[in-house]
């Protein structure tokens, strides 16, 4: 069965064509200013498939999806043109097949459960540390979606500081607003961080700083302090997800994991120290191929949709 996966990420669009679950062709292009033209997506899919109709399509979006799995409900600041657009109807009219729409973190978790770092796990959580903080959970083999599509994916929006800033989501002191790539860049630009000489030089030279800069300058106590606060914030997110879902495995992914050698052991140790005393201490893993986690999850969802014959 041929399926197509479309990952409408916050900074790039990735496309994959799968034959019997195996990736056989792919494409990627930048999403300029968080905007995406569906016509360009469709044209590129046509090129990949040579116009041959797929059995079904999976589409991932960086936000909340309706409980029917057909539309993006909310993604603060991203893809405004997709809100409430029925992407399954778009797929039927453009490609002649149905589509399933899924939150990107859930799709990544499904990809890792299907044939990745959490393969075979029935209870797992996934945390995406990157531009923002994404999350997802599978509980007793069932992906948690909740009554209204919001289940388990808002882990980055737990309050970790009652006196913290108002997050774009509307809540106060969210983890994502205090420890994410966008928060780091915004706080550095606003002059809200105490920076050591090397990190200050990087900010001046580059115009911004990222997590990699923090890691590489951590011999400076100012950088080490920021990094420690970020790791404690991410640990609070994971502890909360573990308290909620009691997983065997925690999958940590996202751009921050390019520094996994430094961050992952510190994060795991902090979580294990802070968990409820009798809680199981889950293993921590990172995807072997994080660039295709979402696509592989979408292919699994599309294959499921296609095999049910709801075309």
Residues near Zn ion (CB under 5 A): 157, 167, 169, 171, 174
Q: How far is the CB of 161 from Zn ion (least distance, A)?
A: 12
Write down the least CB distance from residue 129 to Zn ion, Å.
Answer: 15
| Residue 86 Ramachandran class (φ > 0 left, ψ -120 to 50 alpha, else beta) | beta
What is the closest distance, in whole angstroms, from the C-beta atom of residue 283 to Zn ion in the complex?
28
Catalogue the E-assigned strands of the chain. 2-8, 12-19, 22-30, 56-61, 64-65, 72-74, 99-103, 124-129, 133-139, 142-143, 249-253, 283-285
In the complex, minimum distance from the CB of residue 169 to Zn ion, in angstroms, rounded to a whole number: 3
Q: Hey, what are 105's tokens?
A: 């973190």
Q: Do residues 271 and 238 touch, judged by C-beta distance below 8 A?
A: yes
Q: Which is nearer to Zn ion, 2 or 157 (CB)?
A: 157
Q: How far is the CB of 170 from Zn ion (least distance, A)?
A: 7
Nearer to Zn ion, 135 or 167 (CB): 167
Tell the smallest beta-carbon distance from residue 145 to Zn ion (Å): 19
CB-nearer residue toward Zn ion: 58 or 151: 151
Give, for 19, the enclosing helix (H) or strand (E): strand 12-19
Rounded to a whole number of angstroms, the minimum distance from the CB of residue 237 to Zn ion is 11
End-to-end CA distance of the chain: 13
Kindly give the pairing relationship between strand 99-103 and strand 133-139.
unpaired
What is the C-alpha to C-alpha distance for residues 261 and 130, in angstroms, rounded to an integer? 16
Residue 167 CB, nearest distance to Zn ion (Å)? 3
Residue 148 or 308: which CB sits closer to Zn ion?
A: 148
In the complex, least distance from residue 213 CB atom to Zn ion, rounded to whole angstroms: 24
Q: Are strands 56-61 and 124-129 parallel, antiparallel or unpaired?
A: unpaired
> CA 234, 7, 25 angle in degrees (round to 5)?
125
For Zn ion, the closer of residues 171 and 279 by Cβ is 171
Yes or no: say if 266 and 143 are a contact pair by the CB < 8 Å rule: no
Residue placing its CB nearer to Zn ion in the complex, 174 or 231: 174
In 3D, which of 177, 150, 155 has the Cα closest to residue 165? 177
β-pair partners for 127: 135, 252
Nearer of residues 155 and 290 to Zn ion, judged by Cβ: 155
Nearer to Zn ion, 62 or 287 (CB): 62
Distant-in-sequence, close-in-space partners of 53: CB < 8 Å, separation ≥ 6: 95, 96, 97
d(CA 57, CA 299): 8
CA atoms of 188 and 294, how far apart (whole Å): 30
Q: H or E element: which one contains 221?
A: helix 221-245
Question: Nearer Cβ to Zn ion, position 125 or 174?
Answer: 174
The structure tokens 């109709």 sit at 53
């Amino acid at each position: 069965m041929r399926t197509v996966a479309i990952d409408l990420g916050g900074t790039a669009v990735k496309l994959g064509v799968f034959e019997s679950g195996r990736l056989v062709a792919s494409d990627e292009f930048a999403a300029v200013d968080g905007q995406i033209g569906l016509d360009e997506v469709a044209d590129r899919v046509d090129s990949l498939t040579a116009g041959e109709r797929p059995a079904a399509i999976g589409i991932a979006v960086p936000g909340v999806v309706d409980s029917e799995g057909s539309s993006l409900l909310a993604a603060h600041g991203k893809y405004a043109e997709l809100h409430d657009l029925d992407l399954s109807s778009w797929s039927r009219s453009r490609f002649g097949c149905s589509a399933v729409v899924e939150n990107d973190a859930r799709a990544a978790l499904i990809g890792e459960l299907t044939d990745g770092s959490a393969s075979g796990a029935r209870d797992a959580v996934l945390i995406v540390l990157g531009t923002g903080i994404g999350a997802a959970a599978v509980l007793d083999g069932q992906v948690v979606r909740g009554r209204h599509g919001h289940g388990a994916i808002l882990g980055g929006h737990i309050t970790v500081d009652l006196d913290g800033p108002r997050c774009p989501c509307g809540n106060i002191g969210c983890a994502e607003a205090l420890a994410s790539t966008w928060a780091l860049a915004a706080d550095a630009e606003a002059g809200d961080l105490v920076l050591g000489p090397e990190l200050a030089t990087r900010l001046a030279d580059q115009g911004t700083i990222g997590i990699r800069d923090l890691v590489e300058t951590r011999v400076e106590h100012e950088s080490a302090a920021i990094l420690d606060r970020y790791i404690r914030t991410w640990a609070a997110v994971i502890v909360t997800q573990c308290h909620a879902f009691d997983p065997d495995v925690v999958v940590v992914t996202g751009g921050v994991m390019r520094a996994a050698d430094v961050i992952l052991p510190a994060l795991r140790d902090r979580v294990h120290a802070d968990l409820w005393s009798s809680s199981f201490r889950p293993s921590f893993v990172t995807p072997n191929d994080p660039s295709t986690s979402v696509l592989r999850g979408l292919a699994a969802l599309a294959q499921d949709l296609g095999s049910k014959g709801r075309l």
